[in-house]
Amino acid sequence: MLRILRRDLGRAWRGVVALAIGYMAMTVLAWEWAFRRYRRRESHGLPAPLLVSLTSYRARFPTLAFTLRSLLLQRMAPDRIILWIADADISLPAAVLRLAERGVEIRRTADLGPYTKLIPAIAAQPGWFVVTADDDTYYPSDWLAGLVAAFDAEHPAVICHRAHRVGFTPSGLIQPYAQWEKDVAGPQEGIDLLPTGVGGVLYAPAVAKDMSATIMDIYALAPKADDLGLFWASRLIGLRTRKTSWRRSFASWPGSQRVGLFRRNNRGDARNDFYLARLIDVFGLPSSLAGRGTRS
């Protein structure tokens, strides 16, 4: 009984802290947006165009404009920002539609769940760098620059600001998701690091092209677990994950977490473990993971 009470109080306290941080992010964003005309923006300097890509759905629309504004306020300017919306959710709020005049492209597409932020982008903009973002998050103005700075043309990798480390048993089996090391410190690079979408993920053109060969098959197996699915697609072609030195937490907008994949995948029925088992059953353990390793 005492353990249950302690757990529930801990969750309640974390919820209060997260809510406070979310309102603070709204305040910061309001000031940034008010003074946006005085900002100087820098070029990304990559060898190909840069796209920031995200998707959303009706339940997240009330706070979507906040995320889009934070992307428009990045000190490093992408070539395009595309918001992919499924046909069933195309009735967007006026606050979001107004941002189309500021540089956000709104494009209709098939509903691929959370994979909608990447799969249409790879198809529509081949040869581009693609950075995916979540729709419920405040992205500080140096977020995009930090991802781009970690790109190394000589050492291809999936680049992220936030990652978990896959846990293994002594016999080499993957442990349940709940036992993995969460939000590892950086910078570091490894085959056993799973990028988490909330922090943003950068895919170089060659990386995205190679992953596209299996991405639809993986979507069919893990349609609601894009972090796991995209991680598996990258491991099947032997790619490592490069985590940046970013250590700040990412704020979510108040009210945006009442629905979402986090609640479904990380609590209750442990859906991440279900999807992980399906991926292993069909593809087996990628050879790159069997020879796993991490370097700082």
Residue 15 is which amino acid? G
pLDDT along the chain (296 residues), means of 10: 49 66 87 79 96 96 97 96 92 95 95 96 96 97 98 96 94 90 94 96 96 96 96 94 96 72 47 94 86 52
CB 53 within 8 A of CB 131: yes
- Cα–Cα distance, 177 to 171 (Å, whole number): 17
Is residue 195 within 8 Å of 227, Cβ to Cβ? Answer: yes
A 10 A CB-CB count for 63 gives 21
Q: Is the peptide bond before 187 cis (omega within 30 degrees of 0)?
A: yes
* Phi-psi label, residue 35: left if phi above 0, alpha if psi -120 to 50, beta otherwise: alpha
Backbone angles phi, psi at 106, to 5 degrees: -110, 120
Tell if the pTM clears 0.85, that is, is over it. Answer: yes
Residue 31 CB partners (closer than 8 Å, separation 6+):
none
**Cα–Cα distance list, 14 to 6, 7, 11, 166, 175 (Å):** 12, 11, 5, 25, 26
> Residue 295's pLDDT is what?
47
pLDDT for residue 247 = 93
Q: What is the pLDDT of residue 287?
A: 79
Residue 173: CB atoms within 10 Å:
10
What pLDDT does 198 receive?
96
Q: Give the pLDDT score at 239.
A: 93
Residue 132 CA to residue 135 CA, distance in Å, equals: 10
